[in-house]
Structure 1
Amino acid sequence: MPIQKIEMISFRNHQKKVVTFSPGINLLWGENGSGKTSVLEAVYILSNGKSFKTNRLIETVNREKKEAVVSGVFGGKTTTFYQPTNGQKKIKINNVVKKTKDLIGQNPTVLVSPEEEKITKGPHTERRKYFNRLFSTVSKTYLNNLIKYTNAIKNRNHLLKQNKQPTEIKIWDAPVAKYGALLWLEKKHLQQSFNREVLLVCEKYNNDININISTTTPKKPTENDLLEKLELNIQKDVFLRRTLVGPHTDKYTVSFKDKPLREYGSQGEHKLSFVLLKVAEHGFIKKETNKNPTLLLDDLFAKLDNSRGNAIFDLIRKSGQTIITNTDLVGVEAHGINPNNPNNKTIHLLRNWKN
């Protein structure tokens, strides 16, 4: 569902700012420090319950204030995020308190930002977090099993760190095996669907490009197999004080032309792969949920060449709603987007601390 309006109070450098959006292309421009990325961050938080800029949401509160508030209207429903400096975040939808999981998948977004480039450049943990977030967006079953599995692993690891006896630790083996196997089964299906979308994207933009995503997820995962592995590894787990088997240890490898991208990819190959993966992400969410995600493009135009640009601009044309940040309108026009088009909306932010 497109976002129609967002209000930010004491959020980053925005003391109080209201921005309204069109259902098409929105051009958010202004010099560095004007708070453009903060607007994208606010939209992202209302979609995902977390920030792409920081793991500590308390950092979003203006330094002079005690609480940040972000409120957005999606198709008539109002989602509000509260973050005090001395407490936990609070989320409400139409003034009813909700959990973070209630936001996920409701109003999906696809973020194309330098912060997301760690999908190809970063360690396995970054890709694991990315796919957990993506699969949770399209599947409530995956999200619920992930929450239960994460809780079981957290409790098992807590006992391991306390040097508890194996008989006490094994109490958590059954829930770890149950929800771990369910996660693996769902992940296998979703991974195959995403890989098909990646293949379609590569074939469309360049037949010479082959991007493949492989994972250590078992081909035929079962609850009994995982339970057996947990029992076999108990002494290692006790020694290292953490659980060594299960979906939380899955590794993802992105390959470009059959070579592991992280180890052998050039800067250009990383950037091209990242953009094409994001195009695939948009198509994947749309097919799995029948929802057209809002596309968030952060300061992208200065870094685009023709090959990446063609993919992104085709995605913009397909996306129901796009919010683009840039330092000026000239860079946007240079890539074929007309700010004067009545279907596009231009929003100018000025650099000051009272925006």
Structure 2
Amino acid sequence: MPLAKITLQNFRNHAASELADTAHFNLLVGENGAGKTNVLEAISLLSPGRGLRRAALVDLARKETPDAADGAFAIGASLIEQGQISARIGTYTQPAKPTRRLVRINGADASASALSEWHAVSWLTPAMDGLFTDSAGARRRFMDRMALAIEPGHAKAVGQLETALRERNRLLEERGDARWLDAIEAQAAQHGSLVAQTRARLVAMLGDELSALPPEPFARPILTYVPGGPIDPSDLLAELARARPRDRAAGRALSGPHRDELQVVMAQSDMTPGQPAASCSTGEQKAMLIAITLAHGVLAASGRPSVLLLDEVAAHLDPVRRTELFRRLRGGGAQIWMTGTEIAPFADITAEAAIWRVSDGALERL
């Protein structure tokens, strides 16, 4: 049970909510708009990044009442390992700086990236159902979030790559000193190679896990990492230098890890590639997303506490797939948080789950 005593203060529609005595399965039930997904979003913010909705910080603070008008919120949780509290982690904003996210770990200031050193958080939400038809950028973010749950240093490398590419674009536009360009491109090549190698390892590891899963009742996807440029740092550095005229004209770098792609096809019964995921039915796409999420959950739970957030995942599954989903989740090492509008679809796990009813931002333990 990685997380216990989770607290939300002035977050979304939650004035002051607490979830204690958590379990392996944790279930939030209530009507649409009650605040169930807000709890999952709060938990997702106990990891690096912008959370499962990618919302701006100023949109997260509760605004319904005058006492919450300062624009600040706070989220905290205890990390539990082997029945003992191993750390207390939290993230918050301050009224004077509502656009700056702050983090504390065991009472000391820390960076957001440091949260990934303590536990891994991943999620599947209805907003992700269109991942295979979305932009390549959405799939890169999907890869990066999964990679971060396995290799905590990945977020830093991605940030350093983005910073180096922005500076390179500025120097190209201003026709800056070639020596500065050389230095910036060396940084971009170093960090970009690390990013690309991590993504390639992630996809290979996911492929191994997916091939070991039974093909039914969830569709089995075949994943391919397609690099947007050279992966070797020396080759990437040479490509950046060669492409300066082209990239100056385009106003951006046209090759490199920031152009990577994740290709997904649905496997046929003999594990040969079949139909591209983007062309599959909505149900098949959902089943492949669940399969990827389950495979990633196995990897993320290896050697580190992990949390898996599943928003409205059971509502659109038939009884056979629901039963299989709960069976696989029960055997995994991750703590599970799920939402639903009613308890009935979760009948297989209610006896072992911690359950809260959510109503207008208030929680009632059932």
TM range (shorter): 0.7 to 0.9
Q: Which one has a larger percent helix, Structure 1 or Structure 2?
A: 1
- The correspondence for 1:332, drawn from 329, 333, 346, is 346
Match of 2:78 in 1: 73
Is the Cα contact below 8 Å between 1:49 and 1:104 reproduced in 2? no
Task: Please tell me whether the aligned partners of residues 219 and 291 of structure 2 are also in contact (alpha carbons under 8 angstroms).
Answer: no
Shift of 1:166: 5.6
The equivalent position to 2:276 in structure 1, one of 222, 240, 261, is: 261
What code does the residue aligned with 2:313 have?
L
Cα distance in 2, alignment partners of residues 241 and 282 from structure 1? 39
CA distance in structure 2 between the aligned counterparts of 1:236 and 1:220, rounded to whole angstroms = 17
Partner residue, 1:345: 354
Q: Which has the higher contact order (CA 8 A, sep 6+)?
A: 1
Aligned position for 2:287: 272
1:94 aligns with 2:106: yes
Cα distance, 1:286 vs. partner? Answer: 2.4
Whether contact under 8 Å (2:217, 2:324) holds in the other structure is: no
- Within 5 A, what are the aligned runs for 1:134-283? 134-162=146-174, 164=176, 168-201=180-213, 204-206=214-216, 209-217=219-227, 221-257=231-267, 258-259=273-274, 261-283=276-298
SS in 2 for 1:313: helix
**CA separation of 1:140/1:302 partners in 2, compared to 1, >3 Å: closer, same or farther?**
closer
Alignment check: 8 A CA contact 2:5 2:18 kept: yes
Q: Does structure 1 conserve the Cα–Cα contact (< 8 Å) formed by 2:57 and 2:99?
A: no
Q: Is the 8 A contact 1:108 1:137 kept in 2?
A: yes
Shift of 1:208: 9.9
Contact 1:32–1:351 at 8 Å: present in 2 too? Answer: no
- The one-letter code matched in structure 1 to 2:332 is S
**Compared with structure 1, are the counterparts of its residues 250 and 79 closer, same or farther at alpha carbon in structure 2 (3 Å cutoff)?**
same
Residues 217 and 320 of structure 2 are in contact (CA less than 8 Å); yes or no, is this contact kept in structure 1? no
1:285 aligns with 2:295: no
Q: d(CA) in 1 for partners of 2:336 and 2:219?
A: 27
- Partners of 1:40 and 1:292 lie apart in 2 by 17
SS in 1 for 2:315: helix
Distance (Å, rounded) in 1 between the aligned partners of 2:144 and 2:23: 28
Does 2:67 correspond to 1:52?
no
- 1:43 corresponds in structure 2 to 43
Pick closer, same or farther for the CA change 1:216–1:49 going to 2, 3 Å. Answer: closer
What is the rounded CA distance, in whole Å, between the counterparts of 1:43 and 1:176 in structure 2?
Answer: 32
CA distance in 1, matches of 2:278, 2:314: 27
Distance 1:169 1:264, change over 3 A: same
Q: 1:141 to 1:102 in 2, by over 3 A?
A: closer
The aligned residue for residue 114 of structure 1 is 126
Cα shift at 1:95: 1.6
| Alpha-carbon distance, 1:224 to partner | 1.8
1:146 shift after superposition: 2.7
Contact 1:210 1:256 in 2 (8 A): yes
Describe the superposition over 1:267-306 as per-residue Cα deviations: whole angstroms up to 9, x where unpaired: 121111111111111012124xx23522222122221124
Q: What is the CA-CA distance between 1:187 and the residue it aligns to? A: 3.1
1:3 Cα deviation (Å)?
0.6
CA contact (8 A) 2:219 2:287 kept: no
Identity over aligned pairs, percent: 22
For residue 266 of structure 2, what is the amino acid of its counterpart? F
SS in 1 for 2:50: coil
* TM-score for both structures, normalised by structure 1: 0.88
Q: Tell me the number of residue pairs that the alignment of Structure 1 and Structure 2 aligns.
A: 346
Q: Contact 1:276–1:311 (CA<8 Å) still a contact in 2?
A: no
Q: Per-residue deviation at 1:56?
A: 0.8
Structure 2 residue runs of 5 or longer lacking an equivalent are 268-272
Structure 1 runs of 4+ aligned residues shifted over 6 Å read: none
- Structure with greater proportional strand content: 2
Change (3 A) 1:249 1:236: same
Equivalent in the alignment of 2:16: 16
Q: Could you tell me how far apart the structure 2 residues matched to 1:282 and 1:58 are?
A: 31
For the residues of structure 1 that align with 2:244 and 2:169, how far apart are their CA atoms? 12
